Structure 1
């Protein structure tokens, strides 16, 4: 699939995925969502040697400033539900991806942009980043998981305040409240994201994928996270990676994981 709104740059096994609609503040329109869906469902899983993905926005103003409101004008109840479901399905692909996905939030992350950042496994913000779910200002609510994931990260009290007021918070507030992992100057954020993925890439690939599964299970109402952990633990103990990791520990050397 040729990409129009996504730029892909591979650097030493790390894919830097840039949402490329800077004139529209990288707003999430239908085409962008379809491209994200294809990328995470078809393209990225097929890439050999992939260490992880860094997701960011083009330009200096916005990560993603929201959804494309122009497309909302034609919605009715059913079309609105369909749009929200498609958006949630795409973001679940990101949240459940088997390699680390880091959001490098380099400006406004509002509405769908905040929801997109929360679907990633980790978040690094530049000092000018701003986060918020301002949908109530338009007379609607978040539809791509914002009412659920914001509570997961901030807790009910703070999340309820932000969801009902539509207020934005600064990068420093997001860090203090647990929404982001790091706040760094713009010139340092990408290097930090690469360093984190590089560190994770040295671990057992199967173990990383199973850890992501177990973490996600904690928030899935139809699954017992503890049971998922038990099954995932058992699955990892049967891998070649575990045998290699245990042997390397005993022999006091670095492990050579193969992902099997």
Structure 2
């Protein structure tokens, strides 16, 4: 698929995805969501890709929200379908990916933009970033998992406060409440994400995938412990487990192959 709204490239086993709508502050329109769904699917089916970094073009915004004009005249059923398809194809697809996704938040992350960042497994924010869910100012609520993921990350009280006031918070506050993992100068957002992924790349790929699945299951499954137990057992059947044990005994670095 040829992208009109994304820049996508793979370098040293990392897939870099830049939402390239700088004049629109990288707002998520239908076409951008379709392209994101495609690039997420590519990441999941491509063995070369060991991790993904998502960011926004320019220095002002990661993603400043959704393209409101596209759904301003929707009825209830159309609104439900908008949320259902977006969640299934993009937001849940990111969270459910076996590859670690890192959001490199290089400016405003508002509405659907913050929801996109929260769907990622790790978040790095620039020190000038502003984050928030302003949907109630439009007579809406977050529809791409925002009410759920924000609550999981920061707790019920803070989530209700942020969503019902629609107030933005800065990067320092976001780190304080657990919404982002790190705050760095804007010029270092990508390099910090690369640093984390380069460490993950040293680990067993199937074990990394199992760990992500098990952690996500702690929120989304009725019995996350069972998922963890099953994934733990599956690890014993992998070549990487045998390699990891051998490397430990032989006091050398592991050479994992993802099998």
Gaps of 5+ in 1: none
Runs of 4+ in 1 over 3 A off after TM superposition: none
Question: What is the distance in 2 between the residues matched to 1:108 and 1:189?
Answer: 14
SS of equivalent to 2:94: helix
CA contact (8 A) 2:43 2:99 kept: no
Q: Secondary structure at the match of 2:220?
A: coil
SS at match of 1:103: strand
Counterpart CA distance in 1 for 2:148 and 2:188 is 31
- SS of match in other structure, 1:49: coil
Q: Which residue of 2 aligns with 1:140?
A: 140
CA displacement, residues 8-66 of structure 1 (integer Å, 9 cap, x when unaligned): 1222111110001111110000001111111112x222323212110000011100000
Q: Secondary structure at the match of 2:72?
A: helix
**TM-score, normalising length: structure 1:** 0.97
Identify the residue that residue 209 of structure 1 maps to in structure 2: 209
Question: Residue deviations 1:120-142, cap 9 Å, x none?
Answer: 00000001111100000000110
Contact 2:17 2:52 in 1 (8 A): yes
1:178 partnered with 2:207: no
Q: Could you say what the CA RMSD is over the residues aligned between the two structures, in angstroms?
A: 0.9
Distance 2:175 2:146 in 1: 18
Q: Deviations over 1:168-192 (max 9, x none)?
A: 0000000000011110001112111
Q: Is 1:111 paired with 2:142?
A: no
> Which residue in the other structure is 1:71 paired with?
70
Residue-by-residue CA offset, 1:196-241 (whole Å, 9 max, x unaligned):
10100110000000001101101114x3100000000000011110
